[in-house]
Amino acid sequence: VPDLLVYAPQVSTGSAMPPFDRARVYLVPGGERGDVRLTAYPSLVHADETAEIIRMAGIGDTNGNGVGELLFTSDDSEVFLLMGPPGSPWDTSVAHTRFVSGEEGRDQLGYALAPAGDTNGDALADFLLGAPGTDSVDHDQGAAHLIVGPVQNGEQVRPSAVDEASFYGEGQEDLLGQAVAAADLDGDGLPDVLLGSPGARQDDGEVLVFLSPVSGWYQARDADLELHSDSSIELGESLAAGEDLA
């Protein structure tokens, strides 16, 4: 039964000394009923009191043990992978892997997180990390990384060192990776990679589709499908993968 993650940005610590509030993520088991306080459930907090959790995603089972994993982004552009189930203590200090920025946080690693399903057919869950502030060639051209399971244990790992595929914007302030998602758009049973690049085409924006399987290094021009607009609407600011809707 799927479980529920609930983000609470300001939870009182009950302390007379700062920090007085901390961001917490509560794990609510599936099938619950009634009127229950969130504090009855396990919660995760950043181990470093100078940093906070700002984003989260459940990504499925990356190591084949039958229990899903969790991703969390901190406000200092680090992404933490926690293997389930939750233990004690349950904070970022027990992360299986910590993905770190190569640009001291300026690349906005983890601005977007998304489960990617099984993009390579090995029955293990994969996931996407967006880093729209990446400066590879031009300022804020952006990047996204596809990480496939199983994920190596690492205290500090740069996504580009372990990813199955990297995707990069091509122009200044393209912001590729500001939105990431995955869905099987060609019916071959493998989820395809969907990336938003709202700053591309002089802020008209575009959505890029890369058909799976993917491996290696890609630029926006390598996409199998490029969706764009004729007006400045910042297309690709947000993405969501849906079922067969039409």
184 and 143 Cβ atoms separated by less than 8 Å = no
Q: What pLDDT tens digit does each residue of the chain (246 aa) get?
A: 889 999 999 999 888 888 889 999 999 999 999 999 998 998 888 888 888 999 999 999 999 989 899 999 998 889 999 987 777 667 888 899 999 987 666 899 999 999 999 999 999 999 999 999 998 777 899 999 999 999 878 778 999 999 999 999 999 999 999 999 999 999 999 999 999 999 999 889 999 999 999 999 999 999 999 999 877 789 999 999 887 777
Phi, psi of 67 (to 5 degrees): -120, 135
Return the closest-CA partner of residue 70 out of 25, 136, 111. Answer: 25
pLDDT given for residue 87 in this prediction: 72
The two three-digit tokens of residue 118, written as one number: 């099984």
pLDDT given for residue 74 in this prediction: 92
Instruction: Give dist(CA 82, CA 121) in Å, integer.
Output: 23
186 and 192 Cβ atoms separated by less than 8 Å = yes
To the question of pTM greater than 0.85 for the whole model, the response is yes
Instruction: Give dist(CA 96, CA 17) in Å, integer.
Output: 30
How open is the CA angle 209-116-234, to the nearest 5 degrees? 45
The two three-digit tokens of residue 50, written as one number: 């100078």
- Written as one letter, the residue type at 67 is V
Return the closest-CA partner of residue 152 out of 91, 74, 62, 61. Answer: 62
Phi, psi of 93 (to 5 degrees): -70, -20
Handedness of CA 242, 110, 145, 134 (dihedral sign): positive
Three-state secondary structure of 99-152? ECCCCCCCCCCCCEEEEEECCCCCCCCEEEEEECCCCCCCCCCEEEEEEECCCC
